[in-house]
Amino acid sequence: MSGKKLDNLGVSAFCESMAMMVQAGIQTDEAIALLGQNHKGGGVLESAIGIMKEKTEQGSSLSDAMRESGVFPEYALQMITAGETSGRLEDVLFRLSRYYADQKTISEKLRNAVTYPAAMLILIIVVLAVMLTMVLPAFSKVYDNLTGSVSSSIYSYIHWAYAFCWIALVVMIVLAVLLIGGLLLWNSGKRAAVEKLLRRIPICAEILDNMGMFRFTSALGTFLASGEMQDIAVLDSIKMTDCVPVEEKLKRCAVQMEEGHSFAQTAYDEDLFEPVYGRMLLAGERSGNMVSVLERLTSLLEENCGHLVDRLVGVVDPLLSGVLMITVGLSLLSVMLPLIGMMNAVG
């Protein structure tokens, strides 16, 4: 069993390939064997296909074979098990392919949202370090060698340049340390602590909530499409949100559902979605098109999450660029003022 998990893109590609083969009427063991012929090498998916081929030839189901390989996420395994039980494996595989492709898109957006500010911070730190170690000392040396008409009050402007650069450098280093520390905590499994800090920033809290709702609606739509009962599907989908505030709202919905209310009505009462989307869900439930409405809501949540991430980058980008330009501009102005004063005195 492999210790490394398959990434979102790999899961999406595998599910799409399997879905097309199932759609074509190919048996599971034959489909796995065909995939093994197309994937040669020592990668994670290639090793997993070898294990799955052996298990399916022995009569195991697709979900059991995938579980034995140890590289697929639990959500995908649950969905495929439900699809096999309900006889809707093809539909579930296509849905999983779209779900993990969407997850890949959102992850890339979030990665870019972090990478660009990190690159800007490094650039600012390098520029400030050059100013402090090369540019300002060069001007100081020139002014120290000058005598005559340069008054001490004019000469003191260069000290302001050092102050500007040092303050900005310290602030940028602190921000860089916080960013790197947050990434290390996030990747080390202490995501809750990082999210708690990020939630103090309104736009970050909104992004996290949207991502949680995106995961929930996508999971719920897939569970319902696989033939799962609505109350059980909601409870299973709550586990996929990975967002505590969203989970708390959904658990309140689950409690109301136990009292006999429908999910659409409880979601509308708890303001899970914007009012217009809540009414869409009510209409979809009453007309028997719940799965279609959930697909639409999932798409809208994904788009909204992308817009929020773009907006966050749009705020951080000019802010960091402005800090760089203002700091360097003021520093250069400060070191030039004594020169201007000297030239006026000579003239």
- pLDDT tens column, 29-67: 888 888 877 656 567 778 888 888 888 888 888 888 888
- CA distances to 51, 195, 331 from 78, rounded to whole Å, are 19, 27, 60
The arithmetic mean of pLDDT across residues 165-178, rounded, is 85
Query: What does 76-87 look like in DSSP terms, one character per residue?
Result: HHHHHHHHHHHT
Q: Does pLDDT of 148 surpass 50?
A: no
* pLDDT for res 128: 83
User: Would you say 95 and 16 are in contact if contact means Cβ atoms under 8 Å apart?
Assistant: no
Residue type at position 231: D
pLDDT digits (tens, 9 = 90+) for 115-135: 777 788 888 888 888 888 887
- Output 153 or 281, whichever has higher pLDDT: 281
pTM of the complete model beyond 0.75:
no
The CATH number assigned to the domain with range 101-347 reads 1.20.81.30
- Among the residue ranges 84-88, 109-113, 204-208, 341-345, the one predicted with the least confidence is 341-345
Mean of the per-residue pLDDT values for the chain?
80
- Output 204 or 191, whichever has higher pLDDT: 204
* pLDDT for res 75: 80
Question: CA 36, CA 18: separation in Å to the nearest integer?
Answer: 12
* pLDDT for res 337: 67
- Output 185 or 23, whichever has higher pLDDT: 23
Residue type at position 221: G
The arithmetic mean of pLDDT across residues 258-271, rounded, is 85
Confidence of residue 151 (pLDDT cuts 50, 70, 90): very low
Question: CA 222, CA 260: separation in Å to the nearest integer?
Answer: 23
* pLDDT for res 150: 42
- Output 335 or 52, whichever has higher pLDDT: 52
In the three-class reduction of DSSP (H, G, I as helix; E, B as strand; rest coil), residue 270 is classed as coil
* pLDDT for res 342: 58
Dihedral of CA atoms 83, 86, 87, 92 in degrees, nearest 10, equals: -30
Count of Cβ atoms closer than 10 Å to residue 41 Cβ:
7
- Output 310 or 16, whichever has higher pLDDT: 16
Q: Does pLDDT of 281 surpass 70?
A: yes
Domain boundaries, the chain: 8-72, 101-347
* pLDDT for res 40: 60
Question: CA 70, CA 147: separation in Å to the nearest integer?
Answer: 77
Count of Cβ atoms closer than 10 Å to residue 217 Cβ:
28
The arithmetic mean of pLDDT across residues 85-109, rounded, is 82
